[in-house]
Structure 1
Amino acid sequence: MPQPTSRDTPLFTVTADTLVVVDFAPRTPGRRRAKGPYRRLFALPGARAFTAGNLIARLPMGMFGVSAVIMIAGTRGSYALAGAVTATGLAATAVVAPWTARLVDRYGQARIALPATVFAVLGSLALLLCVRHDAPDWALFACYAATATTPNTGGMSRARWAHLLKGNPGALHTANSFEQAADELCFMLGPVLAAFLCTAFFPEAGTLAGAVLLLTGVLLFTAQRSTEPPVVRRSTARAPLRAPGMRPLLLVCLATGAVFGSMEVVTLAFADERGHRAASGAVLALQAAGSCAAGLLYGATRPAGSARARLPWCLAAMTALMTLPLLAAGLTGSLPVLAAALLVAGMATAPTMVTTMTLVQRYTPEGRLNEGMTLAVTGLLAGIACGSAAGGWTVEHVSATAGYGVPVAAAAAALLAAVCALVPVGSSNRSTDSRAPH
């Protein structure tokens, strides 16, 4: 029996695109392995540099909410107050962010994002001092609202990809999937880091670290001028809010955000009830981990059908999977079981958000892309604010277990919005959607 040679043996490799690649074909001289979609993406000049800075700036987005809840609830003894303060800040951001994004489109990312970040960081530091020195409750609301000028770093990164990959919908789908996975990675690591800092050092440590990371990341990101989209000073395009299909998408974003906001507050309270406050960040991270993995896999494939047709199915899957944490909390009351349920539930999040952002990019008029994507993020933030308040109220007046019914209801509302509003609008614009990435 002939002995196998090095040319016939299976080749196992680990790449940035897949965990394991198995190649049983004979290796011939001069044969080169084709680059995966993510390797091709980051082969673009300047892509790695602006992505690194953006990831540093985006990490605090997963820290600020958890840090504020732990800091305020730990010192004031009220999750309702903590949820209301974070909801107020997010509501303020929902109002201010579109105006900030419009200025970014008009004057450029570097000129607007940096001063806006400095003002937001000052608001975070003011909140820290108010909590530290036992200021009245109204001061907490005012300080957290001052952070509303935080620029949409994820939207600015997506705008750069859209500029670099114009005319290449397949690569743009991969870029959008990577950006969503990056969001989930930041929301996976952010809560863990925030919970660790707040419990291991002092309650304000998470907010302080987040402010430093945000300013550092924006400085690095805006320094990369070669990939910055061109400035459109006097765009004649209609406002993104008036573009066909945008308003139904914002309703979907609003309800989806309520899923995220309520899940965060309720999980923190559930872990605290069982004496494991320090583990709350790790439990939340598992949900983001499931979404991150699903997002990377989604970006490496080319799903069939239009994005508009896929969105209701994604939302239906998210609604079904969001019942798992409710069942785990109600039937077992075990934190490890809940963590496993959150891991599975998170797997529907990234595909839903990637599909939503793809539609947002298609419906946003040219020259106002950052504003359009910020409107979508604004919808998410408004939903997070509502979800945080609803989750905090349910925990305070009923129980943490009952609080897991809030994200289920929010996911069902997102599905209802997509079925009743998005599909009729999309059907009237079938010719527009036919150009959408598949």
Structure 2
Amino acid sequence: MTSPYRAVFRTPGAKAFSAAGLIGRMPLSMLGIGIVTMISQVTGRYGLAGALTATLALSGAVCGPQVSRLVDRYGQARVLRPVTAVTVASVAGLLVCVRAGAPDWAYFACVICAGLTPSMGAMVRARWSEIHRGSPEMLHTAYSLESVVDEIVFIVGPITSIGLCTVWFPEAGPLLAAVFLGTGVLLLTAQRATEPTPVPHAHLNGGSALRTPGLPVLCGVFVGVGTVFGAVDVTTVAFADERGHKALASLVLATYALGSCLAGLVFGLVKPGGTIAGRFRLGIGLMAVSMIPPLLVGSLPFLALALFFSGLTIAPTMVNAMGLVEQLVPRGRLTEGITWTSTGLAVGVAAGAALAGRVIDAHGASAAFWVCTTAATCAAAVAFLGYGRLLPAPDREELDDDEPDRSSVHGVGRHDGCREGEGVA
């Protein structure tokens, strides 16, 4: 492991909460696809499977920011444990209902409650922000690391979930997802030394983090980016199916994630120049440009190559987006702010999958890549038009002054882990 990544892990407890976050994030890529595989195997009804996963996504979009808002106010341990207990119980209830052949309404009741699943990525990033608050360079490396973890989750999770459901028993994928969530939350909340200090007064005035001027711009961009992701997934599968190699679709999509993973690793090693807002705008612009080549390809190898290069734009853009949230949102609402961007992404993924599906049915897979290109262009337009609103929160320093110094509470200095010989940008 190279020096920047060694540096971010020098703080006691960093490795433990990062590993816990990886485990707890696995359901993000396992639960939805696991439900689709389970329901389609048991009932043969793909319509029901799709409706259940859409309900799960919408429930998560509604509940996720509220759960994170409670976390900011009361702390991770006090909120995540009961919320996760409800989620795990809901997934278990769904598995029992499927096994018993319960009516459809019981399935929907379970997945609605399962939407309480906490955003583990937001929880981990909030801890990194707390630890490296005084070192933007270390925070940049930490966010780059987390973007790589996200890609690992989306490479390993679906394969594991689908494989277990098809090889072992239909309920195995969602079951393991629930086990991962429960285990990850227990391990994370046991790490009290690195838990961000709750800021109860942050929610007494000012309302939701979404009212922060620049956050709606970021959420709008993320809806567009999520649309790209959802459309790419569905269109790639259809593209491979049209050419008689549907099984290769997972490998093609893996190259997309691999490009992002490699870019994230490299991006964490460099000292970026310019402003975070400027880098974010550039990344979104490059993402839009990178969605042009898929319109021109006619074979799976060339599609894999095109998606690999497109994937190179993802992780750096996400890292800069998280840095922007950290700048824009008052510290007492940071977890909620990060979760709102994830909500925008989830809404976009659902919309992209639906739009691409309709285009594929009407005009074929190649035409559906226009959904990806159009969505990326819209995301870039929102980023460019809203650039002036991507300014730091004026009350950020006031909130920081009100909070206890982590170095006196947990023995963690604000500048611990800084690379020797480098100043703070």
Name the TM-score, length of structure 1 as normaliser: 0.82
Measured after TM superposition, the shift of residue 173 of structure 1 is: 0.9
Which residue is equivalent to 2:345? 380
> Residue 4 of structure 2 corresponds to which residue in structure 1?
37
C-alpha displacement of 1:370: 0.8
- The alpha carbon displacement at 1:303 in A equals 1.8
Deviation readout 1:340-386 (Å, 9 max, x if unpaired)? 33322211111111111111110101211111111111111221222
1:342 corresponds, among 297, 304, 307, to 307
Are 1:101 and 2:68 counterparts? yes
Asked if 1:364 corresponds to 2:329, the answer is yes
What's the offset of the Cα at 1:402? 3.3
Select which of 142, 158, 182 maps to 1:191. 158
CA distance in 1, matches of 2:114, 2:264: 29
- The 10-residue stretch of structure 1 (86-95 or 395-404) with the greater mean CA deviation from structure 2: 395-404
Offset of residue 37 of structure 1: 0.8
Residue 264 (structure 2) pairs with residue 295 (structure 1): yes
Task: Report how far residue 294 of structure 1 moved.
Answer: 0.4
340-349 or 390-399: which moved more? 390-399
Question: How far apart, in 2, do the equivalents of 1:113 and 1:173 lie?
Answer: 26
Deviations 1:377-415 (A, max 9, x none): 111122122223223333445434433332222211111
Percent of pairs with identical residues: 45
Question: What is the one-letter code of the residue matched to 1:388?
Answer: A
Name which one, 1 or 2, has greater alpha-carbon Rg. 1
With over 3 angstroms needed to count, the CA separation of the structure-2 counterparts of 1:128 and 1:90, relative to structure 1, is same
Residue 115 of structure 2 is matched in structure 1 by: 148
Most deviating of 359-368 and 379-388: 379-388
Are residues 413 and 244 of structure 1, via their aligned partners in 2, closer, same or farther at CA, if it must alter by over 3 Å? same
Equivalent position of 2:213 in the other structure: 244
* Corresponding pairs, count: 395
Structure 1 position 258, deviation (Å): 1.5
- Would you say the 8 A contact 1:80–1:396 is kept in 2? no
Q: In the alignment, is the contact (CA less than 8 A) between 2:330 and 2:393 conserved in 1?
A: no
Distance (Å, rounded) in 1 between the aligned partners of 2:88 and 2:285: 38
CA distance 1:138–1:416, shift in 2 (3 Å): farther
Q: Which string of whole-angstrom CA distances, capped at 9 and with x for unpartnered residues, describes residues 295-336 of structure 1?
A: 1111111222111112222112112222334433xx22x3x4
Select the residue among 92, 102, 108 that pairs with 1:125: 92
Corresponding position of 1:323: 292
SS of 1:297's equivalent in the other structure is helix
Please report the RMSD computed on the Cα atoms of aligned residues, expressed in angstroms: 2.6
Distance change >3 Å, CA 279–CA 116, structure 1 → 2? farther
Structure 1 residue 244: deviation in Å? 2.2
- For the structure 1 residues 430 and 45, does the alpha-carbon distance in structure 2 shift closer, same or farther, using more than 3 Å as the test? closer
1:415 corresponds, among 380, 386, 389, to: 380
The match for 1:208 among 169, 175, 181 is: 175
Output the amino acid matched with 2:57.
L
1:159-170 equivalences in 2 (<5 Å): 159-170=126-137
Amino acid at match of 1:114: R
Contact 1:73/1:79, CA 8 A, preserved across alignment: yes
Distance in 2 between residues matched to 1:325 and 1:69, nearest whole Å = 27
Amino acid aligned to 2:387:
V
Query: 1:121 deviation in Å?
Result: 2.2
Structure 1: gaps spanning 5 or more residues:
1-15, 18-35
Seen in structure 2, the aligned counterparts of structure 1 residues 120 and 282 have a Cα distance that, compared at 3 Å, is: farther
The alpha carbon displacement at 1:58 in A equals: 1.0
Deviation at 1:203, TM superposition (A): 3.8
Kept in 2, the 8 Å contact 1:191–1:284? The answer is: no
1:262 aligns to what?
A: 231
Gaps of 5+ in 2: 398-423
Q: Which moved more, 1:306-315 or 1:232-241?
A: 232-241
Match of 2:277 in 1: 308
Q: Structure 1 pair 70/279, CA: closer, same or farther in 2 (3 Å)?
A: farther
SS at match of 1:151: coil
Match of 2:23 among 42, 51, 56: 56
